[in-house]
Amino acid sequence: MKNDDNEEKLLKKKQTAKELKYLDDKQAQNLSILLKSFKADPKEIFEWLMKCDLNKLSQSSLEQLEKFLPDDTTLAKYQELKENIDDLDSSEKFLVIISQIKGLRKRIKSLIFKCKFPEQQDEIRVDLVAGTQACIDVKNSEKFQKLLEVFLLVGNFLNSGSSSLEGSIGFDMKYLPKFFGTKANDNKRTLLHLVSQIITEKHPQIENFYDDFNAFLEQASKIDGPIIQKSLNEMKTSINNLELDIKNFKNRLDSTDKYLEVMETFSSDARTRYETLDCMFNKMNDCYKELAEFYTFDSSKYPLGEFFTDLKTFCHQFEQCLNDNLKFRETEEKIRRAEEERKIREKEKQVRKAQKEKFIKSGANGGDGDTGVMDNLLEALQSGKIFEATNPNTNGPGRRRPMRRNPNFMALCKRGPGVEPWLRDSRMY
């Protein structure tokens, strides 16, 4: 009985499901999900598209609609099903309604471009401003120039034995981050440690050279010139297509359609902003070429983003070397102080040892001084003078008071054999 009931339910479901005309099941399912995400009736969505209302139509929803929209041939077929719309599935009903909009696909593309344009413009503008200013700051940094001069002097000194490298007037800027990899004999310090130590001792005023261009260095290191150029080209193409669509749309008369009103204003503004970005891009490239010419390297072989990435790495390495040198100096100072304290303790030990030997030697030779005092003390002990009483209760100098007899002690001495012999024979009284 249960199996029969399930079969009847499935049969009823198949009978109630409407047959799809031109969509497959997956396309219909995707459109149904999209409709639910709009949370609006298909006729409302139609009005939003006609009014170009981007307060209701988000960029993500428009991108999904463009993705799931069937080809133009299929859309043209749905335009002919307007009279039989009630017999269609909900997803196909939606296509019948929005297919009445002329140039639907181009309209959706234009609306997506309008949504993306502000963010895209800001991203490009931030990169162009950072790149241009970073080029100017690095070129004008006198501290950085002095640092490179020190590097060149050190390099010429190290290469003084090489006839081909001696007396160089410059070096490739690509080698800046590689100085950190040139190790010393102890494998603890590098050539960059040496140069940073020279800077600290001889030119401390340029230790913070990176402050001259640090404000835009991080952003400039992320710049990819070819990608910016590609984005600008795509922006230009989208604006050209939009202007062409607007030109063709002017032949249509529909008071309910706000496409021309909205897009004509946007197109003019987008063209102006694009031209500004294009000028900024050209200016950034010109500034970088001037920077490359100033520091004598080929800008075409050393892209802007790569140069500033290497410069950022070099600045971090230089700062690390300054900190390492400070730790080395602190460690050396601790070692020096410990050695000084050890020498002081050793010296004091030698002094004490010498004094002891001198004292022993002087005592053996009957020397004066403190030994005389000891001799007098021994003499007084032997003669008994030290025991002479100075107390007024005594009977005069050299006289001792007679000792009183102790009756208890005498009684103890008169006891019998139980008394210890040394007590019986005692002469004490």
Digit-by-digit pLDDT tens for the chain (429 residues) are 445 555 554 444 444 456 777 788 888 899 989 989 888 899 999 999 999 999 999 999 999 999 999 988 888 888 888 777 877 888 888 898 998 888 899 999 999 999 999 999 999 999 999 999 999 999 999 999 999 998 888 877 776 765 555 556 667 888 888 888 877 777 778 889 888 999 999 999 999 999 999 999 999 999 999 999 999 999 999 999 999 999 888 766 677 889 998 999 999 999 999 999 999 999 999 999 999 999 989 999 999 999 999 999 999 999 999 999 999 888 888 999 999 999 999 888 888 888 877 777 765 555 555 555 556 666 666 666 555 544 455 555 445 555 555 555 455 444 555 544 444 444 443
Structurally, how many domains does the chain consist of? 2
43 and 97 inside one domain: yes
Three-state SS at 190 = strand
Give the domain extent around 74.
15-101
How far is it between the farthest Cα atoms of the chain? Answer: 159
The pLDDT of residue 156 is 77
The pLDDT of residue 379 is 65
Whether 415 is in a domain gets the answer no
126 and 249 inside one domain: yes
66 and 138 inside one domain: no
Whether 196 is in a domain gets the answer yes
Segment 72-110, tens digit of pLDDT:
888 888 888 877 787 788 888 889 899 888 889 999 999
272 and 136 inside one domain: yes
CA distance 214 to 212: 6
The pLDDT of residue 412 is 47
The pLDDT of residue 235 is 96
The pLDDT of residue 180 is 86
129 and 91 inside one domain: no
Q: What is the CATH number of the domain that holds 254?
A: 1.20.58.2220
Whether 348 is in a domain gets the answer no
153 and 279 inside one domain: yes
The pLDDT of residue 17 is 52
The pLDDT of residue 11 is 42
222: buried, middle or exposed (CB in 10 Å: 19+, 13-18, 0-12)?
middle
Domain's final residue, options 294, 310, 330: 294
The pLDDT of residue 389 is 47
Domain's final residue, options 261, 294, 327: 294
34 and 165 inside one domain: no
pTM above 0.75, yes or no: no
CA distance 192 to 195: 5
* Sign of the dihedral defined by the CA atoms of residues 188, 192, 196, 199, in that order: positive
131 and 279 inside one domain: yes
126 and 85 inside one domain: no
CA distance 390 to 398: 10
Q: What is the CATH number of the domain that holds 87?
A: 1.20.58.630
Domain's final residue, options 249, 264, 294: 294
Whether 391 is in a domain gets the answer no
Residues 415-426 as b or e (16 or more Cβ within 10 Å = b): eeeeeeeeeeee
In 29-139, where do the E strands start and end?
Answer: none
135 and 274 inside one domain: yes
pLDDT, the chain, mean: 82
Whether 307 is in a domain gets the answer no
68 and 167 inside one domain: no
86 and 144 inside one domain: no
Whether 338 is in a domain gets the answer no
Whether 376 is in a domain gets the answer no
Whether 369 is in a domain gets the answer no
Contact 217, 141 (CB under 8 A): no
